[in-house]
Amino acid sequence: MLLKYLSKFVFSMALLLAPVALYAADSRPPNIVFFLADDLGYSDIGPFGQSKIKTPNLDRMAAEGKRFTQHYAGNAVCAPSRCVLMTGLHPGHAYIRDNKKMPGATSTTIGKPEIEGQYPIPDSAVTLAETLKAAGYTTGGFGKWGLGGPGSVGDPLRQGFDRWYGYNCQSVAHNYYPTYLWDNAHAVDLPNRPFSSQDKLRPDEDPLMPTTYARFQGTAYSADLITEKALDFVRENKTRPFFLYWPTTVPHVPLQVPEDSLKEYLGLWNDPPYAGGKGYLPAFAPKAAYAAMITRMDRDIGRMMSLISELGLDEDTLFVFVSDNGPLNGTHQGLAGTDCAFFNSNGGLRDGKGTLYEGGIRVPCIVRWKGRIAAGTNTRVTGFEDWMPTLLDLVGAPRQLPPGLDGISFAPTLLGQPQPERTFLYREFHGYSGQQSIRAGDWKAVRRNLQRKGKPNLQLELYNLATDRAETKDVAGAHPEVISRLAAFMATQHTPSADFPFPILDKSRK
């Protein structure tokens, strides 16, 4: 443990002493507002093809910024995807490789559990927040963490954040009307009644009456509270460079939204109620609620953009918008009343959350920096591991990168400079029976059922994304040379993990 602390201390001191060479030496480093949506599909917002849900502020951000149409989340579910984002390591090297609870933690949403949170990233990990803090940034996180319970080595306050407000635990976040949120190291009580994750309508309750659902609502909507704290953070730090990490819980289920937003979409579609169960609370009009949650999120993003402008910081602020993985689809379709097909949430890509097909990991990405990044659309293949080197490049601190990262800075692409394409992008996911994928150019290879009991699978599927973005035609048999090349890449990218064992891949490395 002492060595871990010394390692992180030495790295931090090196960053503090390193010279910072900005792209524009006569200007301040840019503020960073990094917005991470939760389970938002590739086409759930207007700039990426959504036609039913209104997102005027993201439309504006995209019109004034750059859309990346081939951007990949760190993984297929929350915690491992966020680990890739925070550490710059792809899933074969990252510390967290699946959703996994802290030892002794419960999944309850009734009150405050004695132990909560997900398995922690180690103290030796160097996070994006730590690198920016060492480069002179004030750092704040507002939303959902998922990389280590309160007080653990993975606590955001021990991983580079000066300020934290919101949820620590992903399970507690399965309720937009919680009984408490974390304000730094303190759990702050909220005036909401406790809910059970198994709460559902009683047999005597009419599912077609809106009033039936009143008992599942509270008065303190967590997304609103988190937004206000994020806005306060900007006001308090307007005179110095800040990194605002905003990992919202929207539109992750359950489908809950205040009435003033819900009414905008009520009655527009055939929208049968969701009676609850399977760990999620009931919803009177789930389609309307899903749309309203995204539009309300967009409204909050607009409030942040307006505040930045009012403070005279528009040309000094870099905005990023991404999602942590794809939408609920496939085996998840209909969970808590969701309807990926109705909204075309995955934009015609295959499947969704929990898979390494395109619908599970290709996500919307918008980058806006007024006066610095030209508006337009870019097809470069990029991923969550790329954000640490990219942002450090953009703030003028490329030498402050920790060693051994998998990420590749795409700052040259953002700034309109030529840049060679990446050789490959690798993903592995230990959940959902075990999966592995690699993309090289337009070729993508996928393995499924690597952790299947009794008969694990090493067979590779192969797709040409240039002609088959929906991954409908496996052409592995016709291209053995491509399969051989991609399999060789795959074989070098997995490092065994004692905390997240992957027996068939671990064996292949021996």
**Is pLDDT above 50 for 11?**
no
Enumerate residues 6+ apart whose C-beta is below 8 A from 145.
Answer: 82, 117, 156, 164, 166, 167, 168, 169, 247
Q: For residue range 323-354, list pLDDT tens digits in order.
A: 999 999 987 888 899 999 999 999 999 999 99
Cα–Cα distance for residue pair 379/60, rounded to 1 Å: 20
Per-position b or e across 104-129, b if 16+ CB within 10 A of its CB: ebeebbeebbeebbbbbbbbebbbbb
In this structure, the strands spanning 186-189 and 435-440 are: unpaired
Average pLDDT over residues 31-51: 98
Confidence category of residue 237, pLDDT binned at 50, 70, 90: very high
Q: What is the pTM of this model?
A: 0.94
| Under 8 Å between Cβ of 271 and 339 | no
Task: Return the bridge partners of 181, or none.
Answer: 188
In this prediction, residue 17 carries a pLDDT of 37
In this structure, the strands spanning 435-440 and 425-429 are: antiparallel
Mean pLDDT of the chain: 92
Task: Return the bridge partners of 34, or none.
Answer: 245, 320
Q: Which domains does the chain have, with CATH numbers?
A: 29-422 (3.40.720.10), 433-508 (3.30.1120.10)
What 8-state DSSP symbol labels residue 28? P
| Under 8 Å between Cβ of 407 and 127 | no
Per-position b or e across 272-289, b if 16+ CB within 10 A of its CB: ebbebeebbbbbbbbbbb
Q: Hey, how many other C-beta atoms are within 10 angstroms of the C-beta on 296?
A: 22
Cα 22 to Cα 29, 245, 398, 399, distances in angstroms: 7, 22, 10, 12
What 8-state DSSP symbol labels residue 402? P
**Is pLDDT above 80 for 429?**
yes
**Is pLDDT above 80 for 24?**
no
| Under 8 Å between Cβ of 417 and 409 | no
